[in-house]
Chains A and B, each alone.
Chain A
Amino acid sequence: SQQGEEDPQALSIQEGENATMNCSYKTSINNLQWYRQNSGRGLVHLILIRSNEREKHSGRLRVTLDTSKKSSSLLITASRAADTASYFCATDAWNSGYALNFGKGTSLLVTP
């Protein structure tokens, strides 16, 4: 089953703007991960945030986690056309047997 739900389903912005994607989930987690997928390719890991962390940065990426609301957000700052891809959150939990559960993703289009 797919636990994470990303919002919005699709996002279109111009280069230089910031892109924010949200993820909501249903059960307790050990960590939450964000992945990127270019069209026709496999998924690539972006960032992992543990359940006891509230914010994490990696380059132009900023991830927040609110376990009380069971939600996370991914912010991409100063977006580039090369950021065009689908972005997925995935939850990792001992009580789901460590089978990472992915959401349906947000499709991001960054136009020059």
Chain B
Amino acid sequence: GAGVSQTPSNKVTEKGKYVELRCDPISGHTALYWYRQSLGQGPEFLIYFQGTGAADDSGLPNDRFFAVRPEGSVSTLKIQRTERGDSAVYLCASRLATNTGELFFGEGSRLTVL
């Protein structure tokens, strides 16, 4: 596609449920990033992939969060046993290579945990 695509755009779930958020990056972009943004804050880094491997997952807040990118393209962010504090907009971004250039962001997935 022409840009980074994220689905769903909105997700409402109940506390304790499992959630998956999907990101389809720009074709050919090897680096893919996940960020979380709370209201009035800047994007908070979660994890990034270079190809299929997680090059840096130091931003994942705890072991309830996990992300995969099995074929080096689409990525899925998985959140287990969701908590109300997980409510935020989850942003995905990609760029051509890890160490240079601009990030291209998707429109985000807004997660609300009731």
Contacts and interface: CB of A to CB of B under 8 A. Distances in A.
B48 A99 contact: yes
The size class of the interface chain B forms with chain A is 20 to 34
B72 to A, nearest CB: 17
A14 interface: no
Contacts of B41: 104-105
B102 A103 contact: no
A100 interface: yes
Interface in B52-78: 55-56, 58-59
Contact of B44 (A2, A33, A42, A98): A2
Query: Considering residues A99, A101, A102, which has the most beta carbons from chain B within 10 angstroms of its beta carbon?
Result: A99
Contact of A97 (B44, B55, B91): B55
Interface of B: 4, 31, 33, 35, 40-45, 48, 55-56, 58-59, 91, 93, 98-108
Interface of A: 1-2, 4, 30-31, 33, 35, 41-45, 48, 88, 90, 92, 94, 97-105
23 contacts: A2-B42, A2-B44, A4-B42, A31-B100, A41-B107, A42-B107, A42-B108, A43-B43, A43-B91, A43-B93, A43-B103, A88-B43, A94-B99, A97-B55, A98-B31, A98-B98, A99-B33, A99-B56, A100-B33, A101-B45, A102-B35, A102-B42, A104-B40
